[in-house]
Amino acid sequence: MSDSAPDTAAPAAPGDLALPLLGMIAYFQLAAFTRLAADSGLAPTLTQRLSLAGYARNALNRVDRVAGRIVELGGDPQSAMRPFAGVLVEFDERTEPSTWSERLLKSYVGYGVADDFARVLAEGLDPASREVVDEVMSDDGHGATVVAALEAAGADDATLSPRLALWGRRLVGESLGVVQRVLGAHPEVVRLLAGALPGDEPQSRLFARLTAEHTRRMDRLGLAA
Amino acid sequence: MSDSAPDTAAPAAPGDLALPLLGMIAYFQLAAFTRLAADSGLAPTLTQRLSLAGYARNALNRVDRVAGRIVELGGDPQSAMRPFAGVLVEFDERTEPSTWSERLLKSYVGYGVADDFARVLAEGLDPASREVVDEVMSDDGHGATVVAALEAAGADDATLSPRLALWGRRLVGESLGVVQRVLGAHPEVVRLLAGALPGDEPQSRLFARLTAEHTRRMDRLGLAA
């Protein structure tokens, strides 16, 4: 399939960098599928269970869409995904939610950071791959559903907001830790980042951007970031 | 939506009985989604993880297909599903798999019985609803995937077959217990069964049929039922 490996100046530059990024995105979406399906199974109402199941399915559909692009580029989807397998295990172990609200916030914050990370990196891709990433990252309503559910929960419980604000800080810290570990383990992603954010200290600017987006998301919930 | 509910002389007969059955099927498929997605998250290889995720998605697509028929009949999908919520909790608690092979066999045996139960009951439905059930219950390859995986596992481990045979007996016993509890708690399902298997002792004949189908499935695995 792919002896289209070489890099530098010209030929395979976009595809070569696109494959690892698309692999990472596909893996994160597969992880989102697993997580949202698990949340669905624990949902307190049938309505929420069905709703989260639908978002899980959307995530799996995204895996397929990204895998399709990997194939178009001459890659193998599983080979592209495999280097990222397990990258969220530590995150999950360190962020076990103790309530339904904490569980909802975890997916909102965690996937928020993962999606933003992918969006930034995609700025360094060839237009066709970037279009796939933009399409895959488009809002499917999951965020709005979480915001509505947490607002409803907060209306019943005045002590919820400060606790969730604290939990949100914990989650974003751990999420940025995942990004840090990915950058540490994947020089090809660092290279892609340099292309996406040309200039000095792309990593600092990446983290500034991820943090700003997180703050915006917490604002939507009326929570201090 | 629909005050198109009544049909024949005995006003609500088909639709009236179709709604609870379709609700039960939709709920079982939602449970299958949750279970297969959880199995996917625990799969030992990425290939198996993706494969099981796809079967989970199929199950959720079936929920939607059945829900669509419920709406056509003037019912509300969640209202139809809700009476069956929780019917598998005890089953799950009593059949916690201790190995990957046991986990695979659990879905194969458990959904096998649930699907056969639904198929028998569907024989008492109006043709359009029955067509939906037949469509939804069509083989999506999950069984063949499990059979192939267990055969491969058995080739590596001669002690596996007898242990799985024992586990299969345990699973079918618990699965038939679920059917028994559904019949005990849902007179409308008993009524539907009487229509599906007219004559004496429909429940005995139902259990005979479910047991025979289970034996056939275990044969496919080369295991004693």
Query: What is the CA angle A148-B67-B108, rounded to 5?
Result: 105
Q: Cβ–Cβ of B49/A63 closer than 8 Å?
A: no
Q: Cβ–Cβ of A82/B50 closer than 8 Å?
A: no
The tokens describing B54, both together, are: 């796809």
Any chain A CB within 8 A of the CB of B81?
yes
Q: Cβ–Cβ of A53/B30 closer than 8 Å?
A: yes
**Of A71-80, A162-171, B12-21, which gets the smallest average pLDDT?**
B12-21
Tokens 């978002």, residue located: A55
Length of chain B: 225
Among A50, A51, A64, the residue to mutate for chain B (most B Cβ within 10 A):
A50
Residues of B in contact with A47 (CB under 8 A): 78
Any chain B CB within 8 A of the CB of A92?
no
- Out of A50, A53, A60, whose CB is closest to B53? A60
The tokens describing A10, both together, are: 């010209």
CA distances from A183 to A109, A169, A204, B64 (A): 19, 21, 12, 40
B13-220: CATH superfamily: Ferritin, core subunit, four-helix bundle (1.20.1260.10)
- Out of A30, A41, A46, whose CB is closest to B82? A46
Q: Cβ–Cβ of B54/A60 closer than 8 Å?
A: yes
The tokens describing A110, both together, are: 């965690």
- Interval A190-223: pLDDT, tens: 999 999 999 999 999 999 999 999 999 999 998 8
Please identify among residues 16-55 of chain B the ones whose CB lies closer than 8 Å to any CB of chain A.
30, 33-34, 37-38, 40-41, 46-47, 49-50, 53-54
Domain ranges, ordered by start, for chain B: 13-220
The tokens describing A64, both together, are: 């397929």
Whether A8 has a pLDDT exceeding 60, the answer reads: no
How far apart are alpha carbons A175 and B151 in whole angstroms?
Answer: 40
How far apart are alpha carbons B174 and B178 in whole angstroms?
Answer: 6
How far apart are alpha carbons B192 and B92 in whole angstroms?
Answer: 26
pLDDT tens sequence for chain B (225 residues):
444 444 433 334 455 889 999 999 999 999 999 999 999 999 999 999 999 999 999 999 999 999 999 999 999 999 999 999 989 988 999 999 999 999 999 999 999 999 999 999 999 999 999 999 999 998 899 999 999 999 999 888 889 999 999 999 999 999 999 999 999 999 999 999 999 999 999 999 999 999 999 999 999 998 887
